């Protein structure tokens, strides 16, 4: 049995006080949600305060990115150890907005994943095709390259500590969601790659989240798919009411 994960990616939204208020509101919701894990990813500035507010609760705190080096001359970057120090347990890596806004490559994603694992963080590795790739029938090829590149050199025990998020880029923040069947097909492909590369046990255990305009009114259909083990949510994770509805998708 794979325990579903409902994760909110706040992107560049929320001040420290807004983040803390949100966590206080969502703590009782997470406490009652034994069916899933609840993760929120505030911006860097709010991580420590969010983690303090979430301390002792069922809300896990994730960062949205990190650098692969332990420390160094990298202006504006944050290391895995700094995230652990701030109270994070998870880190999103390879989000399409990092890949597209900052030119992040699979090789960099790979370095970040390794550094996150070494620091004891749970990486949530994002993969997904752009619209032109889907329309050209290249989805499988793109997902394979991102999966292989992002996870190069990892062992099966390493892989067992990772969460994957399938996020078709054309569905992120667009209001256009993949149908449950489309998402399940991509998840099935990713699980097959995991089986080939890491073995049956790891493939059947890995949580693969769907992300891309998940909302309270479509989460049920997505989560009904056997292949979908949770959601990584941007826009609908910003309001307590809608995030609560997502956590209580059943």
Q: Which residues are part of the catalytic machinery?
A: 95, 167
Least distance (Å) between residue 222 CB and ligand PEP: 12
Query: For residues 223 and 217, is the Cβ–Cβ distance under 8 A?
Result: no
Least distance (Å) between residue 215 CB and ligand PEP: 8
Phi, psi of 127 (to 5 degrees): -135, 155
Binding to ligand PEP, residues 136-175 (CB under 6 A): 167, 172-173
Assess 214 for contact with ligand PEP (CB under 6 A): yes
H helix and E strand count, the chain: 12, 8
Least distance (Å) between residue 236 CB and ligand PEP: 6
Residues contacting ligand PEP: total by CB under 6 A: 13
Among residues 168, 234, 246, 247, which is the contact residue for ligand PEP, using CB under 6 A? 234
DSSP run (H or E) holding 95? none
Among residues 108, 110, 146, 213, which is the contact residue for ligand PEP, using CB under 6 A? 213
CA distances from 243 to 123, 211, 236, 249 (A): 21, 14, 6, 10
Among residues 4, 168, 180, 211, which is the contact residue for ligand PEP, using CB under 6 A? 211
Phi, psi of 183 (to 5 degrees): -65, -45
Token output for 2? 């794979």
Q: Which residues bind ligand PEP (CB under 6 A)?
A: 9, 167, 172-173, 211-214, 232-236
């Amino acid at each position: 049995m794979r325990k579903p994960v409902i994760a909110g990616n706040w992107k560049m939204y929320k001040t420290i006080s807004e983040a803390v208020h949100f966590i206080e509101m969502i703590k009782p919701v997470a406490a009652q949600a034994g069916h899933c894990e609840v993760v929120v990813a505030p911006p860097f500035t709010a991580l420590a305060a969010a983690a303090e507010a979430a301390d002792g609760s069922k809300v896990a705190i994730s960062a949205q990115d990190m650098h692969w080096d332990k420390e160094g001359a990298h202006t504006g970057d944050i290391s895995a150890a700094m995230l652990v120090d701030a109270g994070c347990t998870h880190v999103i890596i390879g989000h399409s907005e990092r890949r597209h806004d900052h030119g992040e490559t699979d090789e960099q994603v790979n370095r970040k994943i390794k550094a996150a694992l070494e620091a004891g963080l749970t990486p949530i590795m994002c993969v997904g095709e752009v619209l032109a790739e889907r329309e050209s029938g290249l989805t499988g090829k793109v997902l394979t390259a991102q999966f292989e590149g992002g996870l190069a050199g990892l062992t099966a025990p390493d892989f067992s500590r990772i969460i994957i998020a399938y996020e078709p880029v054309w569905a992120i923040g667009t209001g256009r969601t993949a149908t449950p069947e489309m998402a399940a097909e991509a998840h099935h492909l990713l699980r097959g790659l995991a089986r080939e590369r890491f073995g049956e046990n790891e493939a059947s255990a890995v949580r693969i989240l769907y992300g891309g305009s998940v909302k309270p009114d479509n989460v049920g259909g997505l989560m009904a798919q056997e292949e979908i083990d949770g959601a990584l949510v941007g826009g609908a994770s910003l309001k307590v009411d809608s995030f609560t509805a997502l956590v209580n998708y059943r």
